[in-house]
Structure 1
Amino acid sequence: MTRPEAVRFLRTQATMAFPEGRLLALREGQLYVLAPDGWTRLRTERPRGSTWLTREEAEDWCENQAWPLHLLNEVPHPGHV
């Protein structure tokens, strides 16, 4: 059995537009943001002030923001966006 690809989650700082911050995912050195149309690729460096989240914290963020939890399993592989 193979292990699933490691995905790390982050949350950006709160802003007026996003009072709970935005959910980010890091996979194989590529950063993505969760957007209404799914995961959108960002630059490779981590935004200033972002904080690391555990998978459980990312699930809590999704539940609080009414995002489906299955999206956490759909972070794309670099080159497949």
Structure 2
Amino acid sequence: MEVKMDVRYLRTAPTMAFPRGRLLAVRGGRLNVLAPDGWDTVGGRADHATPITRAEAEDWCEHEGWPVESLDAVPAP
């Protein structure tokens, strides 16, 4: 039986390299960042990232040219 874990999405502050910030996701307590090759697990915490809704994450993906399906591929711990 598969256990479904909730995913929380966050966005980092804008920077020169990432004017709309980076997309982060937390699933099962693990922090991930959306990278060119998919989701990468990162250490640390996202204290300064802004929580966003799934709809806002979808908008971010569309604006940045990422497939919205990426939001369904956040790895489980």
After TM superposition, give the deviation of residue 49 of structure 1 in Å.
2.3
What are the superposed Cα offsets for residues 4-52 of structure 1, whole Å, 9 maximum, x if unpaired?
3200000000000000000000001100000000000011411x42100
Q: What do you get for the CA RMSD once the two structures are aligned?
A: 1.4
Distance 1:8 1:19, change over 3 A: same
For residues 44 and 61 of structure 2, the distance between their equivalents in structure 1, rounded to whole angstroms, comes to 23
Percent of aligned pairs with the same amino acid = 54
Q: Kindly report which structure 2 residues correspond to 1:1-80, keeping only aligned pairs within 5 A, or say none.
A: 4-46=4-46, 48-78=47-77
Gaps of 5+ in 2: none
Structure 1, unaligned stretches of length 5 or more?
none
**Equivalent residue pairs, number:** 76
Q: Which portions of structure 1, spanning 4 or more consecutive aligned residues, are displaced by more than 3 angstroms? A: none
TM-score using structure 2 length: 0.92
